[in-house]
Chains A and B, each alone.
Chain A
Amino acid sequence: MTTTSAEVTLRSIQKSFGRQTVLNDVDLTIRGGELLAVLGPSGCGKTTALRVIAGLERPDHGTVHIDNDDVTHRRIDKRGIGIVFQAYSLFPHQTAAENVAYGLRVRGTGRSSREARAAELLAMVGLADHGSKYPQQLSGGQQQRVALARAIAIEPRVLLLDEPLSALDAQVRVQLRDEIRRIQYEMGTTTVLVTHDQEEALSMADRVAVMRAGQVEQVGTPHEVYRRPATAFVSSFIGVVNRLSGRVVGGDRVLVLGQGLTLSTAGHSVGHVIAVLVRPEHLAIQRADASAADAATGVVTALTLRGAISSLTVLLPELPDTIRVDLPSREAQDFTRGDRVRVIVHAEDALIDASAVPSAAVRAGERAAA
């Protein structure tokens, strides 16, 4: 099995449909051999970006390179690209094996060697016994496996996956995630995965590019985009985030829930109220006295067991919405609905640096994410 690990570079890509700008100056490099997830809400231009890489859309401006090869004006069938679509892209009149072998047939590979190769690839995706079945005799998950095998069969320089799991049941989806990741690892093929599912992106990708309204907001490892989101949009789109308000009390000192924290205040002057974003797992709670009455003391309104962790919903006096606190379930079982608790902002370094964004901007980001 040859390892292809081409690097894909998008430079200043601009694409409009009519008056709607769908890709607005996109710069993106997909490193050789990595799996990069393009993550963003529906309609933000992910599929269009993928289609530009594939050669299905011609950018109005900018270039696409595969290694040093400028493919901006090359037709799809000459780019060496494998694509897996959302669903139902197998050729209905061909068996699974014929589907997988189709690309090899186009290339003029002899019958026996392409049949052998198809069998080998079907075995790799766990469908060794299904080669003679027609697509409609296969389940959705099996069809996507065949589609993956078909795309890989031609040993593409780049593999493009456009929401390949979104039409599948939750259980199959999780299973196939791991499998795609394993196969991509084995093949070492540079891969772009488009998804609107942050869990999918974080669990599968080497790096994640977060898109919003035609622009790439951040590119980083799953850890980076989760722990250090570059913008309020990224922080609210990836994972759950609590919006607390803080008051700047000095250079890089912010008072949040009555607790003084050291934060970059990005030029806000003393006295300004800013939005502070904190992940549920970066908060903690303590039991509070019935008499305690301050900004950090509130009432548990709900408790949800999520397996190893549990989520508590707490209503604080000075915030419009409840906040979420995640605890190990072992600790959470000490609390019940109606308990008075004190919320502690856990560790200062867990605070995310979008904290300096004024609250109006944070709300705009949330609207876009919704």
Chain B
Amino acid sequence: MSGAGSRSIVQGVVLVVAGLLFAVPLVASASFGFTLPAEGFTLTPIADAVADSGFGPQVLQSLALALLTTIASFALLIPTLVWLHLRARRWLPIAEALSVIPFVVPAVALVNGANLAFRLTVPGFLTSVYSLVPFYVILTLPLVYRALDTGLRAIDLNTLVTASASLGSGPIRTFFSIILPNLRPALLTAALLSFTMVLGEYVLATLLLHNTFPVFLVQIGQDRPRAAAALSLITIVGTWLMLSAFTGRGLARRRRGPAAPDAAVPVVAPILNPDVRISA
């Protein structure tokens, strides 16, 4: 009895502390971004920021980058992982170990190496903002890999593929009408992780001199810190709402019945967005 009681107290304390750690910076940046000393609540800073000529293009650019990065990661990783799970399971541990290398290599080292290599070989390549896509694919690889891998482990891939083949389905149809639909939750998780990371990535973009949304935030934060705080808060809350919408729909689907394999539920994503808060 008392054991269970003290455990629930510990749980409560942990929850409150974690909640505070999570909420205090948000509340602080909200109060900083949406108030002015003389006026109280105000939308002036954010209106100024949005009115800035850089805002629209840079937001769109970042969204495009996020979309392209996600598509490229999926195109690269889904077939690879499906193949590994079906045909070469013993290579999975090696692939997994390789997938965390981007965590180990600092972004600065990555970009300097690439910079040097491309300047010498294809000097034009790095001038386009979309040259960031390959870097972002590498950067998001560890998380996207894990999300997809978890999703594949949650289904009995081999049996489903065999069943589909025995019903006369060729490999391509099986991939699109059996494998992908059952990976849905994992695909959502992976896409959201990838979006959040790209929408918050500052270091690579600024080193390669590209104007993305996080770069805009930092720039605007230099003269108008309140606007930057307000915008990053909106970004975080927006991401969070998007997540809730998706997971909420996932839950509704599950309640209605169809198997939603227990792939990683993407609650961690907003926390993995440190660069946005740098500017606040």
Contact = CB atoms under 8 A, between A and B. Distances in A.
Interface of A: 54, 56, 75-78, 81-83, 85, 88-93, 95, 102-103, 106-107, 133-137, 150-151, 154
Contacts of A76: 162, 165-166
Contact of B156 (A56, A88, A133, A150): A88
Contact of A136 (B156, B173, B178, B257): B257
B111 interface: no
Interface in B167-185: 167-170, 173, 178, 181-182, 184
5 contacts: A83-B166, A92-B261, A93-B181, A93-B184, A102-B169
Contacts of B159: 85, 88-89
Interface in B216-264: 257-259, 261
Contacts of A93: 181-182, 184, 258-259
Most buried by B among A92, A137, A150: A92
A75 B259 CA distance: 30
A299 B166 CA distance: 57
Contact of B178 (A54, A77, A91, A107): A91
Given A106-B173, A136-B258, A151 B168 contact: no
Contact of B167 (A85, A95, A102): A102
B208 interface: no
Q: Which of B170, B178, B259 has the most CB of A within 10 A?
A: B259
B160 interface: yes
Interface residues of B, number: 22
B145 to A, nearest CB: 23
Contacts, number: 72
- B-side interface mostly: helix
A56 B162 contact: yes
Contacts of A133: 257
B162 A83 contact: yes
Given A92-B261, A135-B259, 7 more contacts: A77-B166, A77-B168, A93-B184, A93-B259, A102-B164, A102-B169, A107-B168
A81 B162 CA distance: 11
A171 B42 CA distance: 70
A78 B166 CA distance: 8
B117 interface: no
